[in-house]
Amino acid sequence: MRPESSARAIDCLAPGTILEAVGIAPYWRQVRLPDERIGWAAKKFLESVTVPTIASGPLERDDAWLEIHVVDVGQGDGIWIHTFDDNVPGNGRYEGYNVVVDGGPDASDTKNELLKYLQTRAHERAVIDALIITHPHDDHYPGAEGLLRHFEVREFYDSGYPKTGPKWTRFRALVNGERFQGQPITRHIGRANFGTPNWGSELRIRFLYAYPGPRPGFGRGNTLENNASIVFRLEYGSQSILFMGDAEGKDRADGADTPKYAERFLLDSVGASALRSTVLKIAHHGSETSSTIPFINAVDPDYVVVSSGRRSYAGTFLPDATTIERYCAHKPDLPDRSG
C-alpha cells in the first residue's frame, strides 16, 4: 500500500510524539504509533531520534530502486527523479532525494500535468531537492512555476543562457524569491557554477555540457537556445542514463553522418566512453535535428525515451520517424518496447 495525498487524515500528532518507522514511499514514511496503529506521515515533518552508525564500504541492496519518471506533459519535458529511501536518515546514502528536470509547458495549475502527477504522490510544500531547467524554451520551464508555488525547492540549476522577455523574467523572479528554511535557495547559474551535486553517495552525477557562451558553431536563435541545454549523466550501480535536454547534433536538412552543435562538442570534449549510457533521453523530443549516427554509436543505449506531444510543425510530428529508425538500426535485435 502506498500513501495518497488526497487521503483523509486520521490523526494529528503532538510535537514530540515518538513513532517507529516501518515503511517508506516517496515523500512519506509509514509509522507505527504508540497505540500500535499504522499510518503514513509526511517525511518532511519527522525528525530522527537516533541515526544508526553505518559501516564504511558498499551497501548494495536488491530493493533499492532508483525511480525516473518521464511524465507525459504533452509537447515538452517534465522528469521526476526519486532516489531510494532506506528509512535511515542522515547517513548520506539512500536518503530519498527528489530532483525535477524541466517543468513542461503549462504554468496554470489546471493544465500542469507534471504538477498534477507530483501532487498525487506528495503533499503540499514537500521538498524538491533540485530543480533543473535545461534551457528556457516554453515547453520546458513554465510548468516549474506551479512547482515553485506548491513545493519547496532547495536548489536551482540554469544553463546560463541569456534569455530575455517578460515571461522568462517573471519565472526567474519567482526563482529568486524562493526561500528554503527561511533562506534564499541555492542557484547554480552556468555550468561553471554547477559543482558536483550530492543526491546521495550511491549516485554519480556529472554535468557534461551547458550553454558555452557566445561562440561560433552552436547556431543562432532557437538553434542556439536548444544548444544551450544542460546535459548530464547519472550513474547508479551498473546502470546509467544520459539526459540531453534539447541539445542538437545537426540541422534538419543535414545528413546524419557528421555531427555538429552540442553533439560535436560532447564527442570532442567528453569522448565516447564518458557518454556510454544504458538509457538515453533523446534530445529535442526526437527531432531530426538530434541523434547523429556517431553520437548514437558513442552513447550505445539499450533503451531510449522520447518525450513529445502530437503537435504538428508544418506537417511534421515528433519524434521524427527517421530519428527513431537510426536507433532501431543501431541495435536491431533489441525488443521494441514502445507504447
Domain spans, the chain: 202-339
Neighbouring CB atoms inside 10 A of 300's CB total: 14
Which pLDDT score, from 0 to 100, does residue 299 have? 98
Alpha-carbon distance of 304 to 191, in angstroms, equals 25
- Which residues are 280's β-sheet partners? 242, 304
Alpha-carbon distance of 272 to 237, in angstroms, equals 19
Which segments within 54-144 are labelled E, that is strand? 67-70, 79-82, 98-101, 127-128, 130-133
The H or E element spanning position 31 is strand 28-32
Query: At residue 61, does pLDDT exceed 80?
Result: no
Percent of the chain at pLDDT > 90 equals 75
Q: Which amino acid is at 116?
A: K
Helices (H), 180-258: 222-226
Alpha-carbon distance of 320 to 309, in angstroms, equals 12
* Region 127-137 average pLDDT: 98
CA 161 to centroid of chain Cα atoms: 19
Confidence of residue 14 (pLDDT cuts 50, 70, 90): confident
CA 50 to centroid of chain Cα atoms: 32
Query: At residue 5, does pLDDT exceed 80?
Result: no
Q: Which three cell numbers stand for residue 95?
A: 536518503
Confidence of residue 13 (pLDDT cuts 50, 70, 90): confident
Q: Which three cell numbers stand for residue 318?
A: 515528433
- In contact, 130 and 100? CB cutoff 8 Å: yes
The mean predicted confidence, pLDDT, of the chain is: 92
Residue range 66-114, pLDDT digits in tens: 999 999 999 999 999 999 999 888 889 999 999 999 999 999 999 999 9
Residue range 33-42, pLDDT digits in tens: 888 888 888 8
Alpha-carbon distance of 279 to 242, in angstroms, equals 6
Which pLDDT score, from 0 to 100, does residue 57 have? 41
CATH of 202-339, one of 3.60.15.10, 3.90.1150.10, 3.20.20.80, 1.10.630.10: 3.60.15.10
Q: Which amino acid is at 240?
A: S
Q: Which of 138, 132, 134 is nearest to 167 (CA)?
A: 138
18 vs 278, residue with greater confidence: 278
- In contact, 128 and 147? CB cutoff 8 Å: yes
Grid coordinates 509547458 are at which residue?
A: 105
Q: What predicted TM-score, i.e. pTM, was given to this entire model?
A: 0.90
Confidence of residue 2 (pLDDT cuts 50, 70, 90): confident
Q: Which of 236, 184, 238, 247 is nearest to 210 (CA)?
A: 247
Query: At residue 179, does pLDDT exceed 80?
Result: yes
Q: Which of 84, 201, 211, 104 is nearest to 157 (CA)?
A: 211
Alpha-carbon distance of 204 to 202, in angstroms, equals 7
Which pLDDT score, from 0 to 100, does residue 29 have? 85
Alpha-carbon distance of 130 to 197, in angstroms, equals 9
Q: Which three cell numbers stand for residue 268?
A: 570532442
Which pLDDT score, from 0 to 100, does residue 16 have? 82
Which pLDDT score, from 0 to 100, does residue 50 have? 60
297 vs 317, residue with greater confidence: 297
Q: Which of 116, 121, 129 is nearest to 78 (CA)?
A: 116
Residue range 253-305, pLDDT digits in tens: 999 999 999 999 999 999 999 999 999 999 999 999 999 999 999 999 999 99
Q: Which three cell numbers stand for residue 243?
A: 539526459
Which pLDDT score, from 0 to 100, does residue 332 have? 86
